[in-house]
């Protein structure tokens, strides 16, 4: 193994001798790799192909002991440090250029306690890993909608998906976590132990330490949910959006219903003449009695003349992967997002206007309806502050040709600016792009002051800074 060249927190370059690297390697169960060595490219390759970063050294952790070693190595040598869970973060915060990268992806164990309805999850597990294990017992915890997302980053930002209106955010189901803090100590955090750290982890992102194990509450739902899509011609979008907003005013918690505006992908259930044309999609999931779900969904399914209605009972694990083909890794992505307390009138007109001029066929506009159990939690009960947000607009700008970067990014930014006057100023930290460092007020809202105090106490030197960063007070 040659020597490593790694960037420090101060921005200098540190040469790490072969001997020092040998000593580090000797202590690890996992591996340490330099550019060009086996495992290096696998670790640094992220979901978003816009982010192409080359760490000076990667430590691929096999367990908590490796994480302690790695954080200690970073701390002692004052190295720029990034932490990768699932590598899905749109801003590429799981990796860094020239610094030390801790890669947690080898740590993928998920252990279900079916008697107590709890799960122990390692930080490299993906949503698919979790769902497959939990569904062996008909159990769930709320996670996101794309099965290749990492459980770790999603949880630390808040986490919501198809069953969150019923069971709350992912963090509302987090019972405890094991965390390696900036002084390289492993501590347990829960409501009764290190409760301030536990509070901060639930929405404060990777700012406070490296989580080596998550403990979740699970819920029995069985294996089937009533779910699927209703696809309409885009020409109906304005009228249908109005109906949708009335319909979701009074939804039972069991039902989640999101709007997707995009060009129709060539999916087998869509007639060929619609492929590539703009459509409006209602994506729904009812978690509960299937017959009651049919009754609740009947009004929505009666609107207009849909191109396709593919709502039916689906295996939960299959529904959890339904959007995977449209959200594959390796494409170029730039996202913009706003939270809304209310969505009406000109805001809707603007969304429809931009949906009518998507820059590429891969782009899509998601409007997620939150509320339900998510919003019954107090704003200061966890670090995630957006408990009054009813709708999240997420602009998934997506393309493959670098020549289209400028066009796509300009479209997303203009869309973002034009919808800003109607939004509530909040933004979900996990939907933020890499150029939004000035938006920390929006991300952490009324909890930012407490988060800053805790950051100053747990990580005064800001070792954990490759994230939507909460700066410690000077
Ligand atoms: C296609 C797609 C769909 C998505 N859908 C949803 C959705 O439905 N619901 C939702 O809530 N979110 C969703 N997200 C957002 C998702 O929550 C974030 O991208 C999240 O950051 C992914 O976590 P990760 O572990 O894969 O990310 P990474 O890129 O590995 O890490 C993200 C951040 O978390 C930190 N981090 C990761 N692991 C740890 C750890 N163990 N300890 C401390 N810090 C850590 C990293 O340092 C980094 O700052 C989606 C994202 C994509 C790209």
**Contacts of residue 116, Cβ cutoff 8 Å, sequence gap at least 6:** none
Average pLDDT of the residues in 376-404: 98
What residues does 362 pair with on adjacent strands? Answer: none
Residues 6+ apart with CB under 8 A from 1: 18, 21, 22, 25, 32, 34, 37
125 lines ligand 1 (CB under 6 A): no
Per-residue pLDDT, 1:
53
Q: How far is the CA of 360 from the centre of ligand 1 (A)?
A: 25
pLDDT band at 122 (very low <50, low <70, confident <90, very high): very high
Ligand 1 atom having least distance to the Cα of 161:
8
Ligand 1 midpoint to CA 93 (Å): 9
**CA-CA distance, 409 to 337, in Å (whole number)?**
13
Name the token pair of 217: 């509450």
Token pair listed for 471: 């700066």
Whether ligand 1 lies within 6 angstroms of the CB of 99 is answered as no
Taking only the tens place, the pLDDT of each residue in 332-385 is 999 999 999 999 999 999 999 999 999 999 999 999 999 999 999 999 999 999
422 lines ligand 1 (CB under 6 A): no
Backbone φ and ψ of 211, nearest 5°? -80, 125
- Cα 242 from Cα 240, distance rounded (Å): 5
Nearest CA to ligand 1 atom 28: 87
pLDDT exceeds cutoff 60 at 472: yes
Q: Where do we find the tokens 């501590």?
A: 187
Q: Closest Cα to atom 38, ligand 1: which residue?
A: 85
When pLDDT is cut at 50, 70 and 90, the band that residue 157 belongs to is very high
Helices (H), 274-432: 290-301, 316-319, 345-355, 405-419
161 lines ligand 1 (CB under 6 A): yes
**Separation of 86 CA from ligand 1 center, angstroms?**
7
SS3 73: helix
**By three-state DSSP, how is residue 471 classified?**
coil
Q: Which atom of ligand 1 is least distant from the CA of 94? A: 29
pLDDT digit string (tens) for 421-452? Answer: 999 999 999 999 999 999 999 999 999 999 99
Burial status of residue 23 (CB atoms within 10 A of its CB: 0-12, 13-18, 19 or more): exposed
Contacts of 396 (CB under 8 A, 6+ apart): 327, 333, 335, 363, 364, 365, 366
Q: How sure is the predictor about 474, in pLDDT bands with cuts at 50, 70 and 90?
A: confident
Q: What is the pLDDT of residue 390?
A: 98
Percent of the residues in the chain that have a pLDDT greater than 70, as a whole number: 100
CA distances from 298 to 247, 295, 301, 308 (A): 11, 5, 5, 15
Q: Sort strands 57-60 and 100-103 into parallel, antiparallel or unpaired.
A: parallel
Answer positive or negative: Cα dihedral of 133, 138, 140, 146: positive
Helix spans in 356-472 (H): 405-419, 440-444, 448-458
- Report the percentage of the chain scoring pLDDT > 90: 99
Query: Is any atom of ligand 1 closer than 6 Å to the C-beta of 123?
Result: yes
CB 365 within 8 A of CB 398: no
Report pLDDT digits (tens) over 252-266: 999 999 999 999 999
DSSP per-residue string spanning 76-109: HHTB-EEEESSS--TT-TT--SSSEEEE-TT---
State whether the beta carbon of 90 lies less than 6 angstroms from ligand 1: yes
Q: Residue 328's CB: how many other CB atoms inside 10 A?
A: 12
Tell me how far apart the alpha carbons of residues 105 and 87 are, in angstroms, rounded to a whole number. 8
Q: How far is the CA of 383 from the centre of ligand 1 (A)?
A: 16
Local confidence band at 145 (pLDDT 50, 70, 90 cut-offs):
very high
CA angle 237, 240, 244 (to 5 degrees): 130
Q: Which pLDDT score is estimated for 64?
A: 98
- What does the pLDDT look like over 258-293, one tens digit per residue? 999 999 999 889 999 999 999 999 999 999 999 999
pLDDT in tens, 24-70: 999 999 999 999 999 999 999 999 999 999 999 999 999 999 999 99
Handedness of CA 449, 455, 460, 462 (dihedral sign): negative
Contact 363, 253 (CB under 8 A): no
pLDDT at 67: 98
Query: 203 CB less than 6 Å from ligand 1?
Result: no
C-beta of 93 in contact with ligand 1 (< 6 A): yes
Which atom of ligand 1 approaches the CA of 89 most closely?
A: 19
171 lines ligand 1 (CB under 6 A): no
Mean pLDDT, all residues of the chain: 97
- Ligand 1 site, residue 44, Cβ cutoff 6 A: no
**Whether the CB of 213 sits within 6 Å of ligand 1:** no
CB atoms within 10 A of CB 329: 15
Helix (H) or strand (E) holding 118, with range, is strand 118-121
Q: Give residue 242 CA to ligand 1 midpoint distance, Å.
A: 32
The pLDDT tens digits for 296-331 are 999 999 999 999 999 999 999 999 999 999 999 999
The alpha helices in 213-338, defined as continuous H runs, are 237-247, 290-301, 316-319
Structure-token pair, residue 41: 């490219």
What average pLDDT does this structure show over 182-208?
98
Closest residue by CA, ligand 1 atom 50:
149
Say if CB 270 and CB 307 are below 8 A apart.
Answer: yes
> Which residue's alpha carbon is at the smallest distance from atom 32 of ligand 1?
153
Alpha-carbon distance 192 to 180, whole Å?
Answer: 18
| Per-residue pLDDT at 70 | 98
Nearest to 203 by CA among 153, 250, 146: 153
Instruction: Return d(Cα 70, Cα 33) in angstroms, integer.
Output: 12
Dihedral angle over CA of 376, 242, 279, 388, nearest 10: -20
β-strands 139-140, 391-399 pairing? unpaired
HSE of 302 in the Cβ direction (CA atoms, 13 Å)? 7
pTM for the whole structure: 0.98
Cα 338 from Cα 368, distance rounded (Å): 11
Q: How far is CA 91 from CA 19, 70, 297, 406, 460, in A?
A: 35, 23, 36, 17, 24
How far is ligand 1, taken at its centre, from the CA of residue 358, in Å? 25
CB 297 within 8 A of CB 226: yes
């Amino acid at each position: 193994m040659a020597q490593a060249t790694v960037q420090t927190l101060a921005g200098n370059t540190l040469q790490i001798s072969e001997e020092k690297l040998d000593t580090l390697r000797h202590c690890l169960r996992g591996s340490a790799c330099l550019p060009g060595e086996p495992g290096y490219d696998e670790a640094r390759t992220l979901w978003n192909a816009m982010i192409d970063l080359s760490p000076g050294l990667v430590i691929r952790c096999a367990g908590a002991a490796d994480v302690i070693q790695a954080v200690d190595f970073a701390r002692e040598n004052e190295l720029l440090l990034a932490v990768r869970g699932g590598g899905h973060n749109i801003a590429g915060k799981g990796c860094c250029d020239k610094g030390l990268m801790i890669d947690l992806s080898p740590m993928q164990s998920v252990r279900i306690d079916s008697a107590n309805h709890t799960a122990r999850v390692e930080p490299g597990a993906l949503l698919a890993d979790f769902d497959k294990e939990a569904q062996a017992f008909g159990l769930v915890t709320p996670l996101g909608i794309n099965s290749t997302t990492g459980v770790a980053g999603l949880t630390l930002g808040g986490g919501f998906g198809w069953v969150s209106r019923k069971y709350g955010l992912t963090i509302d189901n987090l019972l405890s976590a094991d965390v390696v803090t900036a002084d390289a100590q492993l501590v347990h955090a829960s409501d009764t132990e290190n409760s301030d750290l536990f509070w901060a982890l639930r929405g404060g992102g990777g700012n406070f330490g490296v989580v080596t194990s998550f403990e979740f509450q699970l819920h029995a739902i069985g294996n089937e949910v009533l779910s699927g899509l209703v696809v309409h011609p885009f020409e109906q979008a304005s009228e249908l959006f109005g109906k949708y907003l009335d319909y979701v005013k009074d939804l039972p918690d069991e039902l989640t219903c999101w709007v997707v505006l995009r060009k129709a992908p060539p999916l087998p259930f869509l007639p060929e003449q619609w492929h590539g044309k703009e459509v409006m999609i209602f994506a729904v999931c009812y978690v509960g009695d299937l017959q009651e779900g049919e009754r609740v969904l009947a009004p929505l399914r009666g609107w207009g003349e849909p191109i396709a209605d593919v709502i039916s009972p689906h295996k939960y694990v299959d529904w959890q992967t339904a959007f995977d083909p449209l959200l594959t890794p390796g494409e170029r992505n730039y996202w913009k997002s706003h939270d809304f307390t209310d969505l009406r009138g000109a805001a809707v007109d603007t969304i429809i206007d931009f949906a009518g001029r998507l820059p590429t066929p891969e782009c899509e506009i998601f409007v997620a309806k939150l509320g339900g159990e998510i919003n019954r939690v107090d704003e200061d009960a966890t670090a995630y502050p957006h408990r009054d947000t009813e709708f999240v607009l997420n602009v998934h700008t997506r393309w493959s040709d670098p020549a289209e970067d400028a066009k796509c990014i300009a479209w997303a930014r203009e869309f973002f600016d034009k919808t800003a006057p109607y939004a509530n100023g909040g933004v979900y930290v996990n939907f933020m792009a890499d150029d939004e460092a000035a938006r920390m007020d929006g991300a952490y809202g009324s909890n930012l002051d407490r988060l800053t105090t805790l950051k100053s106490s747990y990580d005064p030197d800001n070792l954990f800074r490759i994230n939507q960063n909460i700066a410690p007070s000077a």
